[in-house]
Amino acid sequence: MADVSLETRNQTPVTFRGGGFDPVARQWVPWLFFAAVIAAWQGASHAGLLDPLFLPSPLQIVAALQELATSGELARHFAASLMRIGIGWIIGAAAGVGLGGLIGLFWTWRSAGLPFISALFPIPKIALLPLLILWLGIGEASKVATIALGVFFPMAISAYAGVDNVPRNLIRMAQSFNVPFRGIVMNVIIPGMLPSVLAGCRISASIALILVVAAEMIGANVGIGSFVLTAGNLMQTDKLMAGIVAISILGLLIGAGITWLERTLLNWR
């Protein structure tokens, strides 16, 4: 027998109240939004509403990008910036993860290192560039050191926070099987801290990008920051905007790379 009442009088449907509060992003929306903004911008430029000296049209920016790409100028500036970011990021990240790991594992390092990090982290690292130029000269070393310093602190913080976030029950489990200290670090701590370290990578990569542009604006002849500054000084707004677009694309590519790393290394989540 069906568990349904045969009574048909006064049937009132139960009101649905469970919708909303579920903001799932649709993949096509950002493309549509982006296309709409570009179209409006192009339309405004075409109608003469925007002075190309202050804001060139998207087509002018694309043309400038194309010219810079074919002349090899973009590649030259990008190569210089990428080299500085790469070296600075690797040094800063290695030192940061190393110190953060030690702070997460040993009370001596935590006692000494945590106040040190808390005191120095808030200093805007670009403010240290003049000092670093004084110490290391105007060449590559001072710019790389600025980036390394900028990367070091968020990586150190994410590393020790990552160690702190490794569930203690997993460490106790390993201890209960007499897994030696090194085995616990390799098999429990390092994989467990990885999500936090990768989150730190995302933040520090953005910081590195900001710092390289700023450092190159202060003291470099080549590099994307220097290129943007020179284009601005010469009122070549289309080239300036092309440089900014190129930096934005680089940022997106770095972000996509980290997303890929997260998907690959953290597929267990």
Partner 1 sequence: MAFELVAAAISHQYGSLSVLEDISFTIRQGEIVAIVGPSGCGKSTLLGIVGGLLKATHGTVTVAGDMPPDSLNPFTYIFQDFALLPWRTVAANVRLPLEHHPLSRAERAARVADALSRTGLIEFARALPKQLSGGMRQRVGIARALVVKPAVLLMDEPLSSLDAQTRELLMEDFEAIWARENTTGAYVTHNLEEALHMADRIMILRRRPGRIREIVPVPIPRHDRRGQAAERDLHRLHEQLWSHIREEAQLADREMSDG
Q: How far is the CB of 162 from partner 1 (least distance, A)?
A: 13
Structure tokens at 221: 């002849």
* CA nearest neighbour of 206 among 143, 257, 136, 141: 257
Q: How far is the CB of 110 from partner 1 (least distance, A)?
A: 21
Q: Which is nearer to partner 1, 5 or 169 (CB)?
A: 169
Q: Which is nearer to partner 1, 52 or 183 (CB)?
A: 183
Q: How far is the CB of 159 from partner 1 (least distance, A)?
A: 17
Q: Which is nearer to partner 1, 253 or 266 (CB)?
A: 266
Q: Which is nearer to partner 1, 26 or 269 (CB)?
A: 269
Angle, helices 224-233/237-265, rounded to nearest 10 degrees: 160
Q: What is the DSSP letter of 72?
A: T
Q: Which is nearer to partner 1, 10 or 169 (CB)?
A: 169
Interface positions with partner 1 (CB under 8 A): 169-170, 172-180, 183, 187-188, 191-192, 267-269
CB 267 within 8 A of CB 195: no
Q: How far is the CB of 87 from partner 1 (least distance, A)?
A: 30
Q: Which is nearer to partner 1, 8 or 267 (CB)?
A: 267
Structure tokens at 197: 């370290």
Q: How far is the CB of 156 from partner 1 (least distance, A)?
A: 23
* CA nearest neighbour of 242 among 228, 225, 221: 228
Give how far Cα 145 sits from Cα of 194, 208, 236, 252, 261, Å: 25, 11, 31, 24, 26
Q: How far is the CB of 268 from partner 1 (least distance, A)?
A: 4
Q: What is the secondary structure of 238-269 as a DSSP string?
A: HHHHHHHHHHHHHHHHHHHHHHHHHHHHTTT-
